[in-house]
Amino acid sequence: MSERKVLNKYYPPDFDPSKIPKLKLPKDRQYVVRLMAPFNMRCKTCGEYIYKGKKFNARKETVMNELYMGLPIFRFYIKCTRCLAEITFKTDPENTDYSMEHGATRNFQAEKLIEQEETKIVRDREEEELNNPMKVLENRTRDSKLEMEVLENLQELKELNQRQAAPDFEGMIGQARELEQREKEREIEEDERETQEMLGRALMKRLRDSDSDSDQEETPSEAPPREGTPREAPPPVSSVDRPTDILTTVKPSETQGPSVGAVKKAKVERWEKSVGKLGGGGALSSLVVRRKPAAAPPAGCISKPGPKGIPTANSVPMNAAPLAVHSSSLSLLGAYSDSESE
């Protein structure tokens, strides 16, 4: 099989290219090409609008006896999409554009002509100013005056529009709502900030109150004395805060071998601190009764000797029933406090 894609062809050894006959084609012959409409146009026959960029199968030919600086000019033939009328246009290398020739009119042609006229006027003016300095001054004065007139007219138009402008109620309402929303958000933020500050102050006050309460519990205040009772001198400051701490507190004097008098004095101080003075005006002085000296038993009574020969209250008459003896724990406690032995 032969190759599908043949890149090189076989030339026999006796091949002579001069023997190949040359085709004699006319110079104005036409070619079929695919192109797009170079500008907007309107058909003169049916009035159909043909917009720029519309694709056509056009016939192309070279314009005879027309050259621009050695460049050939080409003509194109297309047909209207509605009535099939023939439309022709050709290239314009001088203006780098296309020019309408037959069958249609170019849209916006007036605008193009105006632009061309303006370009021509500017070119002529530059040539005049190049040779005439006074013309330059005149042109500048005229330009400044024209510019002032344009600004005045523009200001008048703005004032006229402001007088005739209708108020935009929707826009005004929208702005008012936006301002109100911003104000609400600002108030909410301020309320939250104030609430946080108040909570912080309340927390600090609660902490200070709890600290003061704990200090008061550690150092309780003494009850004021009753009216009519003599004020006693304050007791010496000691490290013992509660009466029960005496039992667990060891004074340094005990470790040094105290005397009997010091021991007795310490006992009295403990008793007065816990119960009160017996002879003074304390709160418990009326409840404690000192022991009275024992009287001689009446006749007919037998007294049982107590320890150390002290008669006791258990003396009863010989011929009578034993008497009921009323005693209290406080009286016994008072008696126990007066004894020297423990």
Over residues 38-71, the pLDDT tens digits come to: 999 999 999 999 999 999 999 999 998 899 999 9
pLDDT interval class at 150 (50, 70, 90) = very high
For residue 305, the cross-strand partners are 311
Distance CA(116)–CA(104), nearest Å, equals 21
On whether the CB atoms of residues 105 and 41 are closer than 8 A, the answer is yes
**Looking at this protein, which amino acid is placed at residue 246?**
I
pLDDT at 320 over 50: no
Nearest CA among 273, 276, 282, 284 for reference residue 235: 273
Q: For 121, which DSSP code?
A: H
Distance CA(80)–CA(87), nearest Å, equals 7
Residue 59: other Cβ atoms inside 10 A = 16
Torsion sign over Cα 147, 149, 152, 153: negative
On whether the CB atoms of residues 90 and 63 are closer than 8 A, the answer is yes
Distance CA(188)–CA(211), nearest Å, equals 35
Distance CA(215)–CA(202), nearest Å, equals 20
Kind and range of the H or E element at 41? strand 41-43
Ramachandran sector of residue 235 (left: φ over 0; alpha: ψ -120 to 50; beta: rest): beta
Distance CA(272)–CA(283), nearest Å, equals 11
pLDDT at 267 over 80: no
Which residue is associated with the tokens 């005693």?
Answer: 327
Kind and range of the H or E element at 99? strand 97-102
- pLDDT of res. 233: 55
pLDDT digits (tens, 9 = 90+) for 105-140: 998 877 788 888 999 999 988 888 888 888 888 988
